[in-house]
Amino acid sequence: AQVDFGEAPFLHEGEEVIRHFLVLSFPYSNAFLYQVFPSENRECFLQGLANMFEFLEGVPHTIRFDNLSPAVKKVLPEGERVLTEEFERFAAHYGFSYEFCNPNSGNEKSHVEAMVKYIRNNYLLPAVPYDRLADVNEQALIWSVEDRERAHYEKELPISELHLADKEQLLQLPGKKYECIRYEHLKADKYGMIRIDGKQYSTSPRFAGQAVTAKLSFDQVTILNEKNEILITHPRLYGSERRAMNWQPYLTLMAKRPTALKYSSFYDQLPEEWKVYFEACSLEEKKAALSLLAVLLKEQDFHLPTEALRMASEHGHPTAESIKHVYLLVAVYQCRFRQYIICIRSLYMEWRAW
């Protein structure tokens, strides 16, 4: 088999975004599988391969790669390579042999490069709308199988029939799934924040300046204390997003000491609307508002509470109860809108399949 990444536009929450898709192709039969991810990093790369091996119910005995950075750290003279530890462990777990193209020799994996173009042109253009990548990847596997009903461009037999020979040569899956994660040992800054790949993730005020461990998968960052107990789990950030913040532990602390709010280490990180609001609050109003935010921000970011604050402020300085009332109305409206979008997306997917 051969493996490579491609890129295509997708529609996510009404915006066009670029996503990466990992392709596994079989030159003998012309069959392929692919999976979509937000990046070409190590965790996305390995998770994509693991997903496709699981779907195949086997592992290609030899796979040819380009010199992808998730697998190759350095190309040495005479074709030797220094591989990443994660890739070496992954290959040992699944038992496949690997080959790498010579530098600047994409023709050595021309089949998968042709499949990248074929998938983009036939399945990913125009931009596919999605809410969850898991749904996109489930559909990607369905489309990959349906494509095998066409005839091979040279052998004039159905690809599905030729692919049976590929499957006969697959290695058996190991008894245990490979966990596509890595760990980083970090020290939280004075705000209780850690930095991974240029992105910031919160822990808690009480962990400021302390050592923590970050457990990284392609879609999550789980932060552990020295006893390996879970402190918090964040969605992993990609693209222009810079900070994942769980405000709840910070706000619970501040609700007990509202006079220290303006002088706290996290005050500058608050949205501007809330800074203005707190400036106009009495001590008791600050307590009530901070307690409200501590509840509202358990499961989400500041976007919806800030929208509720804007709306509640249209008729003057609102109470915490007024903000809560508007928040609940906005949340119900957005929930119904999401259900409508899900319905439309389902119809679109059915139309694409038809």
Query: At which of 245, 265, 281 does a domain end?
Result: 245
Greater confidence, 252 or 87?
87
Greater confidence, 207 or 50?
50
Query: At which of 220, 245, 270 does a domain end?
Result: 245
Clarify whether residues 299 and 345 are in a common domain: yes
For 47-102, the pLDDT digits (tens) are: 999 999 999 999 999 999 999 999 999 988 877 899 999 999 999 999 999 999 88
Residue 346: what pLDDT? 58
**What is the mean predicted confidence (pLDDT) over 231-240?**
92
Clarify whether residues 239 and 252 are in a common domain: no
For the cut 90, the answer to whether the pLDDT of residue 119 exceeds it is yes
Query: At which of 180, 198, 233 does a domain end?
Result: 180
Clarify whether residues 205 and 241 are in a common domain: yes
Domain tally for the chain?
3
**What is the mean predicted confidence (pLDDT) over 212-241?**
94
Clarify whether residues 25 and 79 are in a common domain: yes
For 6-42, the pLDDT digits (tens) are: 999 999 988 999 999 999 999 999 999 999 999 999 9
For 303-344, the pLDDT digits (tens) are: 888 998 999 999 899 999 999 988 888 877 766 655 555 555
For the cut 70, the answer to whether the pLDDT of residue 345 exceeds it is no
For 265, residues 6+ apart whose C-beta sits below 8 A from its C-beta are 190, 191, 192, 205, 208
Strand partners, 7: 20
For residue 265, what pLDDT band results from cuts at 50, 70 and 90? low
For 182-203, the pLDDT digits (tens) are: 999 999 998 889 999 999 999 9
Residue 333: what pLDDT? 73
What is the helix (H) or strand (E) element at residue 142, kind and residue range?
A: helix 133-146
Clarify whether residues 101 and 235 are in a common domain: no
Q: Is 353 left (phi over 0), alpha (psi -120 to 50) or beta?
A: alpha
Clarify whether residues 160 and 254 are in a common domain: no
Closest CA to 193 of 251, 242, 230, 226: 242
Average pLDDT, the chain: 89
Clarify whether residues 346 and 253 are in a common domain: yes
Residue 91: what pLDDT? 97
- For the chain, the distance separating the N- and C-terminal CA atoms, rounded to the nearest angstrom, is 29
Clarify whether residues 50 and 125 are in a common domain: yes
- How far apart CA 24 and CA 108 sit, in angstroms, is 15
Residue 262: what pLDDT? 79
Structure tokens given for 220: 């999550």
Q: Domain range spanning residue 41?
A: 2-180
Clarify whether residues 203 and 352 are in a common domain: no
- CB atoms under 10 Å from CB of 84, counted, come to 19
Clarify whether residues 144 and 167 are in a common domain: yes
Task: Indicate which CATH number applies to the domain containing 25.
Answer: 3.30.420.10
Name the pTM for this structure.
0.80
Clarify whether residues 122 and 64 are in a common domain: yes
Clarify whether residues 58 and 118 are in a common domain: yes
Q: How far is CA 216 from CA 146, 148, 223, 234, in A?
A: 34, 35, 9, 10
- Residue pair 58/163 in contact by the 8 Å Cβ criterion: no
